[in-house]
Amino acid sequence: MDNERQITSIRNTIEIHYCFNDISHSMDAFILNKCNYEILNIMKELSRLLSVEIIIETEPIGEGGLKTWLKVLGKQENAKAIILTALISALCTTIIVTPITKITETVIEKIFEDSELKNLEKEKLKLEIEVLKQEINLNAEKIDNNIAIRKRKSNYYEALDKYNKVNQVQFVLTNENKQVTYKNETVYKSDFGKFILVSDDLEPAENEEAIIEIISPVLKKGDYKWRGIYNGEQIAFNMFSNEFKTLIQNGEVEFKNGFSINCALIVRRKIDNEGNIMTIGYDVIRVNNYFLNDNPIETAEGKRHRKQKEAEKLQYKLFNE
C-alpha cells in the first residue's frame, strides 16, 4: 500500500476549458454533452487497448468561460492501474490536441518521467514500472492507427466548429489536488478544421484470392448486381470482369448449384459516426478461375495475371542475386 500511496498524486484528471467570444459562462448543453461523449469514448477505447478497466467521474463545472473536469480512476486499486489511468489521461489529452498521428511514443516517455515515479524508492515497483512501460510501447502503433479514436476526435471538433460561441478550447492535466502537472494545451477555432476528417471513406480492402459461391449471376447486359456467399455471408457485388461476363452471357460457362469463383475482390469500406468500420460494397475486378465439379478452371485473364506475377517474382529474385 505504501507504493500505491506514493503514486496517487500522478495526474489523472483532464481539465477542459471552453473559451467564449463573450463574457458569459454558459454553453449549449447539447454541444457540451456531445463533446464530453466523444472524449469519454476516446478514453474508453484507450482503456480497451491498454487492457485496464476504468471509471470516469465528472466534477462540478467551473467558470472562466466554462471549465469541466473528467477524472479517470482504475477499478482495481493497485500501482499498475493507477499508472495506466494516468497514461490514459495523458494520451487522451495529447490525442485530442494533435491533428497528426505517431504521438504515442512521446507521451509514454513523458508519463514515465513524472517525478512521482522517478522518486520511487522500492526496487520492486521500479521493475514493475519498467515491465509496464514495455507492455504499453507494444500497443503504441495500435493506438496511433486506431480508426475509432480518429473518428471520435473528428466528431469532437466538428461539433465545436459549428458552435460559434467557442473560439478556443484548452486542456490541462491535474492531480488529485487540482495542481497542474502538464502544460496548458490550446486549440484555436481557426485550427478546428485540421482535426476533422475530410471523408468517412477508408482505404478499400483487397483480396486477390477471394472465394465466392455464386447464388444469382446476371445473365443479361446491364449494371445489375450479382449475389453470392463470401466468408459465410450473403453479399451483393459488382462484376467488373468483362471477360467473365462475356463467358456467362455467351453460355460458355454453365452455372450449377454450388458454383464458385476464385477472384480478385475489392471491399469498399467507410467509418460510421460511432467509429465502427462498415462495408459499403463489393467489386470483383478479375476472375482467376471458376470451379467445375470442384476442379478449378483457369480463365484467360487469370492466366495472364498469374504469368505476370511469376515474371515479377523472377525479376525480383534476379535483381536481388
Q: What is the pLDDT of residue 8?
A: 46
Judge whether 77 lies within some domain.
yes
Task: State yes or no: pLDDT of 3 exceeds 50.
Answer: no
> What is the arithmetic mean of pLDDT over 172-195?
81
Task: State yes or no: pLDDT of 321 exceeds 80.
Answer: no
* Structural domain that includes position 218: 205-320
**168 shares a domain with 34:** yes
Judge whether 200 lies within some domain.
no
Q: What is the pLDDT of residue 121?
A: 44
**19 shares a domain with 164:** yes
User: Among 170, 195, 220, which residue terminates a domain?
Assistant: 195
**158 shares a domain with 44:** yes
At 210-234, the pLDDT tens digits run 999 999 888 777 778 999 999 999 9
Judge whether 174 lies within some domain.
yes
Q: What is the pLDDT of residue 315?
A: 81
**242 shares a domain with 177:** no
**168 shares a domain with 235:** no
Confidence of residue 320 (pLDDT cuts 50, 70, 90): confident
Q: Are 43 and 100 in contact (CB under 8 A)?
A: no
**244 shares a domain with 141:** no
Task: State yes or no: pLDDT of 27 exceeds 60.
Answer: yes
Q: What is the pLDDT of residue 36?
A: 95
Residue percentage of the chain with pLDDT more than 70: 83
**296 shares a domain with 233:** yes
> What is the arithmetic mean of pLDDT over 290-318?
87
User: Among 195, 220, 243, which residue terminates a domain?
Assistant: 195
Q: What is the pLDDT of residue 28?
A: 95
**91 shares a domain with 169:** yes
**146 shares a domain with 88:** yes
Q: b/e string for 168-182 if b means 16 or more Cβ within 10 A? A: bbbbbbbbeeeeebb
User: Among 195, 226, 248, which residue terminates a domain?
Assistant: 195
Judge whether 219 lies within some domain.
yes
Residue 180 vs residue 88, higher pLDDT? 88
Question: Within 10 Å of residue 96's Cβ, how many Cβ atoms?
Answer: 23
**241 shares a domain with 136:** no
Task: State yes or no: pLDDT of 199 exceeds 70.
Answer: yes
Q: How many domains does the structure of the chain reveal?
A: 2
Judge whether 156 lies within some domain.
yes
Q: Which of 96-100, 108-112, 174-178, 264-268 has the lowest mean pLDDT?
A: 108-112
At 107-142, the pLDDT tens digits run 666 666 665 555 544 455 667 677 777 777 777 778
**130 shares a domain with 13:** yes
